[in-house]
Structure 1
Amino acid sequence: MRQQPILLIVIFLLSGLGLLSGCSSTKHVNDGEYLLRKANIKLTTDRTLADKSALSDQLYNLMPQQPNNYFLGRFPIKLWLYNMRYKKYASDTTNFQLKNKVVEKPVILDTMMVVRARKNMSDFLRNSGYFYAEVSDTIKLKGKKAYVTYKVNTGTEYLIDDVNFDIEDAGMAPLAAKLREETLFGKGKPYSNTLAGTERSRLVNEIRNYGYYRFSSDNIDFELDTLDKSYFRNLENPFESAVNFITLNRTKKKPTLNVKIIIHPGEDSMAFQKYTFNKVMVIPDFVDTGDLSDPHMTQTDVNGLVFRYKDLYVNTSILDKKIFIRPGKLYSQSDYNQTLRQLNDLGVFQFVRLYIFANRQDSINHTLNCYIFMNKSDKYNFGTNVEVSGGDLYTIGTSANVSVTDKNFLKGANELTTTVSYGLELGQNKNLQVPYLKQFYLFSQNLGLNFRLSFPKFLLPVNQSKFSQNALPRTVFNFGINSLDRYNNFKLTSVNASFGYIWRESSTKSWGVKPIFVNTQHLREISPDFQEKLDSIPAIRNSYQETFIEGESIEFMVNTEGVNRRHYAYMKLGLEEAGAVMSGIKGIAELVGSPLDFNHSRYVRFDFDARQYLVRRSSMLATRFYGGIGIPYGGSTVLPYIKQYFVGGAYSIRGWRPRVLGPGSYYDSARQHSADNLFIDQSGDIKLEFNAEYRFAMIKLFSGAISLNGAVFTDMGNIWLTKKDPTLPGANFEFGNLYQDIAMSTGAGVRLDLGGFLVFRLDWAFPVKKPYVMENSGWVIKQINFADPDWRRENLNLNIAIGYPF
């Protein structure tokens, strides 16, 4: 009964908005003019469903005239705001709100723009390999509104059959085999002018790698032959050719074309001439061109490179390893690109510029001079971060991080980051008859000090020569100490340290290896009450037991985001082992009569994270499947607490608070609602989780600098134990119980995007399947009742976070 008034109010509001939309949007549209209400595309193509959707978005963006923005596809809020102050905006066309698209003037149909849109679409499809595409339009008028529909039939795209090279220079002819072997014009691949442009750039870079400094895209032409020879296998028999033509068309075989790549000197007579470097000068602290002749600057020679500087800002030995252009070496576009990239990657320069020009004093040998100018950046970088939160046992909590980064530590382009963190939580005793401020007391506080030292190279024992120029290697050391003081309970001190390498295998693949990492935690000053919890509750005992972890790890990552902006993927795989080396050390110590008396963890852990992003004109579908498994061995029965898995919260299954779900179908309602739930972080040895989120644009302000976006999402998964625990029934993993054990929640959210630099996120989520509910396999959809305050309090979960969940 309580839902009916709410439903009637919602219907009334939507009806009113709909009526307002129909009346006010055309309020200032003159007679004979029409508001462009919609512009649709009806697309017929041989592409797959996903590619068809992407193609439709691309065609839509080619329209020079598009309708006003409509919130939820129905309400033109910006147009309404314009009409509310029509006289103001009509007389002041340079108004700040108009320029920044806070408001929008009505888009009036322009038939010339429709004609231009058809041409844009036809040209785009022709460039995409659809040489005989058909584009038409239909305009429907309804009142003062116009609805435009573009009918697009792409036809069949041409596939590449054969590729040949015609090189007009005997000296370059030996490159033909290599150029053909690596061509992007693969047999059976769809032809497009975009692909041709990419192939032209590849050819230019490849040829310039062999010293052809003056070679450019003007020296490459493509000749296309669209006559499919399979139609005319027997040219002397026209009847057979006609039969072949009909047969191949009936089988819907795509037509093919041959590509002839012509490499010619063009108007530049030196395009086929190889060039060698004569002089390479490097100025690491460049200010202006006066540095080239300043007699007070220091000049030194390092492996053929001439360094000039006022102050030794970066050690020359570091820069020497990042510069691949050398005197006496042929010009190479790859060397140029890698030098520029790796010098910028050091992070200690505001800009890096390479100037290359022909040596006029040596016109016979065709040599080049190169000047490398680098302008140094600020040595230190400062960062701060403040967070405020609330909880069940504490009223308010806050934490602050302050970091300082020395970007050129010891003048070696090494990065040393020091981070100090502090946080506290305040409790409130509302039962005390004292002034309000005196009801608060210090519940807990934590203090941390962490260091990260990164070197722009591989330190011993790694051999740099085994890796390509693209590797961009780094050696990273980490060390930190953190202290948690939980008043009237305990003090916990943890120490962590690691040493490892990171490098790139290619533009999309990277690796991380830690030959050693160490973690320890030490519990002290334990109160009698908390000692009782340790003795009686295994979950707490396992969480806070003292342990020593020593191990090694390897990580592999693939990220294709920069390859295709329409759809890209991310994948990370990690393998970690702990205990083997330490077990060996303790075994040796026992043999020599000096046993080491301390506990250490032994386990193997595998993690994975796979994500897929499908991007459309004003929306995105993001999915993620991730998790892992940790297996203790050699006497260890559980994973260390800091290595266990958790679910719930703003970045996981959002229908539950952090660390209260699982393991499996285990649930203890008495403990979940007690004051002890802070110490019962539910953890597991196995984790499986799947997330799907549809993100869509809502409102854009200031030309998109600020935008409000929406999202609907579904999260599912859980954690499990690898071994059965009698005190935690239903917590261990069993395939037969997997369906029952999966938790699922759904919800919606809004995101305030501040120019892409900061995303403030609010997500509301609620469970639809609870693994600890045995009836109906855990499904609780029928119990959903937004009008019931008790249901909302127990099920509706608000997540406040910075950034996207994945």
Structure 2
Amino acid sequence: MGTNNYIALFFLAALLLGCSGTRKIPEGDLLYVGHNLKIEKGKAPKKTRKQIRSAVDALIRPKPNKSILGMRPGIFFYNVFDEVKKDKGFKYWVKYKLGEAPVLMSGVDLEYNKKVVQNYVENKGFFNAETIVDSIRKGKKAEAKYDVKLHNQYKIKSVVFPKDSILLSKEINLLKEKSLLKIGKPYDLDLIKTERSRMDARLKERGFYYFNEDHLLVQVDSTVANHEVDLLVKIKNDIPDKAKNQYRINNIFVYPSFNLKRDTVSTQKMDTIRYQDLTIIDNKTVFKPFIFDKTLLFNKGDLYNRTTHNLSLNRLITLGTFKFVKNEFKVNDSVENQLDTYYYLTPLPKKSIQVEAVAKTNSANYSGTELNVNWSNRNTFKGAELLKISAFAGLETQVSGQNNGFNVYRFGGETNLIWPRFISPFKMTSGSAYVPNTKATLSYEYQLRTKLYSLKTFNGSFGYIWKENERKEHNLNALNIAFTSSNNVSDLYKSQIAANPSLQKVIDKQFIFGTTYSYTYTNTMLKNRKNNIYFKGAVDLSGNSLGLLLGANDSADPKSIFGVPFSQYSKLEVEFRHYYNFSKDTQLASRIIFGAGLPYGNSSELPFIKQFFIGGTSSIRAFRARSIGPGTFNGNETTNVFLPDQSGDLKLEFSTELRTKIYKLVKGAVFVDAGNIWLLNESAEKPGAKFSGQLLNELAVGTGIGLRFDFNFLVLRTDLAFPLRKPYLPKGNRWVVDDINFGDSAWRKENLIFNLAIGYPF
């Protein structure tokens, strides 16, 4: 072994010794390396012992230094520099960001931890439990040792509720049928606390506005039998009289122009408007009264309940018109057990303008920038209507790829008018925490694809958006109209149409007249869950009413509106995502998408803008955008000098991605994507494109790794991917795993795909 090798081994040994963390432990102290917890096997079942072990492990403090294979790199980096005077710079970063101070045995309070452990097991019904604590020294290290003898767990023998005749006691007795405290179940202090909270919440629904859970007492008698307890639910003697009373709603006052900076209620002369059960006090009638009648759910004479209280506040907030919402309930002194309700509302500025510049990417591997100018009027017709007028202009380009040089320029505008209520000939109501919206939209976009063509698109829609709760949302466009036409078609594009006639449909005039509906369910906003899901289902129907009126039933002789054949089809698309959270910083995200479109009557195929595409930055990342399928058709063999738009009537796609935090803002990912698209009918131009039922044998599969730079306001994503399976290759040769050769420049050029995008793929 050479001298250099000995030197390397010496430094490696020094590093490993330093990583053990004991080199600079103060004299007379020891490095605390954790604890050993033993739950002695007794009469408690294995599941109970396992749950107690897990809970107690989390309660014991302090936590030892992080260890990797017996080494503690955090202590090593902490000891690199003895003293750091500045709270910034490289030394500070190494010592306090990479490093961590050693946890010393002198900082471990064994008796305190013993009390914590003993208290926890007693709260779980093990009143006779014993906890023994000790420590074990191993060289310069020390370990705490906790032995817990559970003995017998006490069970609930009986639950006694208040028996006196006052109204509050009677209401509490009505709740005992669904009580969480069941005879025969183990005693559990946490469960008792939960039961108090449950009873308080139910009483709030029954008019007991001033009651709270601290007014309830649950006494425990453990002397009644062997390892059993009686629970006595009692109302404390010293609770206020108001807490015993049931209240109803009397007067409802609304102050729509309340100013937090000054007491506008008392210092300004107000106009008073009475509308239904409401008294609206305003200085200039900024809002029409009916908007509050539709938003506030309490009526005069209603029994107070917390649900209606919260729903009304949420509906006021989700109107999007008020900056601050404040609510008070006061006892009406002239009427017994009645509450007057006050809503103090501070409006947002009525009109605003916003200018923003955004960076964006799309699934076709285009990146670019866009300038948006948005003007808003939040109370257009004094009914909290939102009028929003937007104008935009942008540029998209491919830095590298098959479409490099074919830039896309876009400009246009959109007008949205949103009414915070249902506008319909039919009676439609919503009692959720979210105000339902009626939305009308008109938009225009001009898109210029340099060297190819330009498209003009007009859109109009009228529909409804409503949420049942924060998880469930419905979006119905009862009327959806789209018209697209092209001009400035280049000779280059015309020459490509001659080689690939399917490109003609991109520039054909299209007229869509129909209805769309989507339903979304998600619980991804809920934190600290192991599992989160997202689901969206969408239905798109076009040309049904026109088809009936005009008798359209032959795609070879289509009926027209304004000289343009209208599209007739049905389309369904479903997306499901699942997020499994291993920890705060590590997550397994998965997605599956299924789509199907059926043209009929007036159409032989779906409109181009409604067809399915696959591949690209947020799809199957190992293949370029829109370069897969349909079926086993190989679009790469066409003579197009730019990316072919390969589309289909059916789509199946799924992805899974393991995400983990690497360092602060940097997150890493390993992913696998798969999928394809198909046609419903044979195509002479695209052999192998028809769906044959052999979908598993015709899937494209790719994998790769990526980095995500999360700046909170922006996530910059980079992915490097390569194919594992190419569906357009002959049967038996579609898996290309054996061909992977990162050292071969030709293989890298053909197979390695770099994706740059903004945001997560799903």
Q: TM-score under structure 1 normalisation?
A: 0.77
Partner-residue secondary structure (3-state), 1:541: helix
Contact 2:535 2:576 in 1 (8 A): yes
What is the CA–CA distance in structure 1 between the aligned matches of 2:34 and 2:299, rounded to whole Å? Answer: 60
CA deviation after TM superposition for structure 1 residue 640, in Å: 1.4
The alignment status of 1:267 with 2:239, answered yes or no, reads yes
| Corresponding residue to 1:457 among 399, 414, 421 | 421
CA deviation after TM superposition for structure 1 residue 326, in Å: 4.5
What is the CA–CA distance in structure 2 between the aligned matches of 1:493 and 1:63, rounded to whole Å? Answer: 67
Could you list the per-position Cα deviations for residues 584-606 of structure 1 after superposition, in whole angstroms to 9, with x for gaps in the alignment?
2324999xx99865311121112
Deviates more, 1:35-44 or 1:447-456: 35-44
Deviates more, 1:280-289 or 1:495-504: 280-289
Could you list the per-position Cα deviations for residues 633-668 of structure 1 after superposition, in whole angstroms to 9, with x for gaps in the alignment?
224222112112222223222222222122222214
Query: CA, structure 1 residues 82+441, in 2 after alignment: closer, same or farther (shift >3 Å)?
Result: same
| Corresponding residue to 2:747 among 788, 791, 801 | 791
Partner-residue secondary structure (3-state), 2:565: coil
Which aligned pairs between 1:352-371 and structure 2 lie closer than 5 A? 352-359=325-332, 361-362=333-334, 365-371=336-342
| Corresponding residue to 2:674 among 706, 712, 716 | 716
The alignment status of 1:481 with 2:481, answered yes or no, reads no
Contact 1:97 1:103 in 2 (8 A): no
Partner-residue secondary structure (3-state), 1:691: strand
The alignment status of 1:767 with 2:734, answered yes or no, reads no
Partner-residue secondary structure (3-state), 2:253: strand
Could you list the per-position Cα deviations for residues 72-114 of structure 1 after superposition, in whole angstroms to 9, with x for gaps in the alignment?
999977766644443115x879999689964543231346267
The alignment status of 1:602 with 2:602, answered yes or no, reads no
CA deviation after TM superposition for structure 1 residue 482, in Å: 0.9
What is the CA–CA distance in structure 2 between the aligned matches of 1:550 and 1:787, rounded to whole Å? Answer: 54
What is the CA–CA distance in structure 2 between the aligned matches of 1:41 and 1:766, rounded to whole Å? Answer: 48
Aligned residue in 2 for 1:437? none
Contact 2:466 2:474 in 1 (8 A): yes
Query: CA, structure 1 residues 682+568, in 2 after alignment: closer, same or farther (shift >3 Å)?
Result: same
CA deviation after TM superposition for structure 1 residue 501, in Å: 1.3
Aligned residue in 1 for 2:516? 553
Aligned residue in 1 for 2:388? 417
Aligned residue in 1 for 2:3? none
CA deviation after TM superposition for structure 1 residue 573, in Å: 1.9
Aligned residue in 1 for 2:578? 612
- Which AA in structure 2 matches 1:216? N
Query: CA, structure 1 residues 760+139, in 2 after alignment: closer, same or farther (shift >3 Å)?
Result: farther
Query: CA, structure 1 residues 290+447, in 2 after alignment: closer, same or farther (shift >3 Å)?
Result: closer
| Corresponding residue to 2:248 among 265, 270, 276 | 276
Aligned residue in 2 for 1:406? 377
Which aligned pairs between 1:153-232 and structure 2 lie closer than 5 A? 166=162, 168-169=164-165, 171=167, 175=171, 179=175, 197-222=193-218
| Corresponding residue to 1:66 among 57, 63, 66 | 63
Could you list the per-position Cα deviations for residues 274-329 of structure 1 after superposition, in whole angstroms to 9, with x for gaps in the alignment?
22344433222222463222243333333343333334444332123222345444
CA deviation after TM superposition for structure 1 residue 475, in Å: 1.4
- Which AA in structure 2 matches 1:86? D
What is the CA–CA distance in structure 2 between the aligned matches of 1:41 and 1:800, rounded to whole Å? Answer: 49
What is the CA–CA distance in structure 1 between the aligned matches of 2:489 and 2:417, rounded to whole Å? Answer: 35
| Corresponding residue to 2:309 among 321, 336, 346 | 336
Contact 2:698 2:727 in 1 (8 A): yes
- Which AA in structure 2 matches 1:525? N
CA deviation after TM superposition for structure 1 residue 334, in Å: 2.1
Contact 2:38 2:146 in 1 (8 A): yes
Which aligned pairs between 1:5-44 and structure 2 lie closer than 5 A? 20=15, 22-23=17-18, 26=21, 28-34=24-30
Query: CA, structure 1 residues 762+92, in 2 after alignment: closer, same or farther (shift >3 Å)?
Result: closer
- Which AA in structure 2 matches 1:677? F
Deviates more, 1:488-497 or 1:170-179: 170-179
Query: CA, structure 1 residues 714+287, in 2 after alignment: closer, same or farther (shift >3 Å)?
Result: same
Could you list the per-position Cα deviations for residues 496-538 of structure 1 after superposition, in whole angstroms to 9, with x for gaps in the alignment?
2222212222443332222121122101232343234334424
What is the CA–CA distance in structure 2 between the aligned matches of 1:135 and 1:724, rounded to whole Å? Answer: 76
Aligned residue in 2 for 1:345? 318
What is the CA–CA distance in structure 2 between the aligned matches of 1:769 and 1:205, rounded to whole Å? Answer: 57
| Corresponding residue to 2:632 among 665, 675, 678 | 665
Aligned residue in 1 for 2:532? 568
Query: CA, structure 1 residues 366+228, in 2 after alignment: closer, same or farther (shift >3 Å)?
Result: closer
- Which AA in structure 2 matches 1:452? N
Could you list the per-position Cα deviations for residues 523-554 of structure 1 after superposition, in whole angstroms to 9, with x for gaps in the alignment?
12323432343344243123332211111122
- Which AA in structure 2 matches 1:268? P
CA deviation after TM superposition for structure 1 residue 384, in Å: 2.0
| Corresponding residue to 1:301 among 260, 263, 274 | 274
Contact 2:310 2:433 in 1 (8 A): no
Aligned residue in 2 for 1:643? 610
What is the CA–CA distance in structure 1 between the aligned matches of 2:238 and 2:120, rounded to whole Å? Answer: 28
Could you list the per-position Cα deviations for residues 363-406 of structure 1 after superposition, in whole angstroms to 9, with x for gaps in the alignment?
x6133333322222344362524226799999x85433343443
| Corresponding residue to 1:725 among 680, 683, 686 | 683
Contact 2:560 2:566 in 1 (8 A): no
Contact 2:656 2:671 in 1 (8 A): yes
Unaligned runs of 5+ in 1: 1-11, 233-254, 430-439, 701-706
Contact 1:499 1:516 in 2 (8 A): yes
What is the CA–CA distance in structure 2 between the aligned matches of 1:724 and 1:132, rounded to whole Å? Answer: 78
- Which AA in structure 2 matches 1:65? P
Query: CA, structure 1 residues 180+468, in 2 after alignment: closer, same or farther (shift >3 Å)?
Result: farther
Partner-residue secondary structure (3-state), 1:669: helix
The alignment status of 1:491 with 2:447, answered yes or no, reads no
Contact 1:425 1:442 in 2 (8 A): no
Contact 1:665 1:740 in 2 (8 A): no
Contact 1:393 1:675 in 2 (8 A): no
What is the CA–CA distance in structure 2 between the aligned matches of 1:14 and 1:405, rounded to whole Å? Answer: 69
Aligned residue in 1 for 2:291? 318
Query: CA, structure 1 residues 326+398, in 2 after alignment: closer, same or farther (shift >3 Å)?
Result: closer
CA deviation after TM superposition for structure 1 residue 624, in Å: 1.8
- Which AA in structure 2 matches 1:284? P
Contact 1:381 1:406 in 2 (8 A): no
The alignment status of 1:446 with 2:410, answered yes or no, reads yes
Contact 2:412 2:445 in 1 (8 A): yes
- Which AA in structure 2 matches 1:627? F
Query: CA, structure 1 residues 186+507, in 2 after alignment: closer, same or farther (shift >3 Å)?
Result: farther
What is the CA–CA distance in structure 1 between the aligned matches of 2:331 and 2:657, rounded to whole Å? Answer: 55
CA deviation after TM superposition for structure 1 residue 161, in Å: 11
The alignment status of 1:286 with 2:252, answered yes or no, reads no
What is the CA–CA distance in structure 1 between the aligned matches of 2:682 and 2:277, rounded to whole Å? Answer: 67
What is the CA–CA distance in structure 2 between the aligned matches of 1:278 and 1:57, rounded to whole Å? Answer: 51
Query: CA, structure 1 residues 213+748, in 2 after alignment: closer, same or farther (shift >3 Å)?
Result: same
What is the CA–CA distance in structure 2 between the aligned matches of 1:795 and 1:19, rounded to whole Å? Answer: 44
Aligned residue in 1 for 2:492? 529
What is the CA–CA distance in structure 1 between the aligned matches of 2:406 and 2:28, rounded to whole Å? Answer: 72
Aligned residue in 2 for 1:4? none
Q: TM-score under structure 2 normalisation?
A: 0.82
* Greater per-residue helix proportion: 1
| Corresponding residue to 2:102 among 95, 104, 107 | 107
Aligned residue in 1 for 2:4? none
- Which AA in structure 2 matches 1:321? K
Partner-residue secondary structure (3-state), 2:496: helix
- Which AA in structure 1 matches 2:448? D
Partner-residue secondary structure (3-state), 1:293: helix
Contact 2:364 2:624 in 1 (8 A): no
The alignment status of 1:373 with 2:340, answered yes or no, reads no
What is the CA–CA distance in structure 2 between the aligned matches of 1:500 and 1:543, rounded to whole Å? Answer: 28
What is the CA–CA distance in structure 2 between the aligned matches of 1:183 and 1:427, rounded to whole Å? Answer: 63
Contact 1:740 1:777 in 2 (8 A): no
Q: CA RMSD in A?
A: 4.8
- Which AA in structure 1 matches 2:641? D
What is the CA–CA distance in structure 2 between the aligned matches of 1:13 and 1:638, rounded to whole Å? Answer: 69
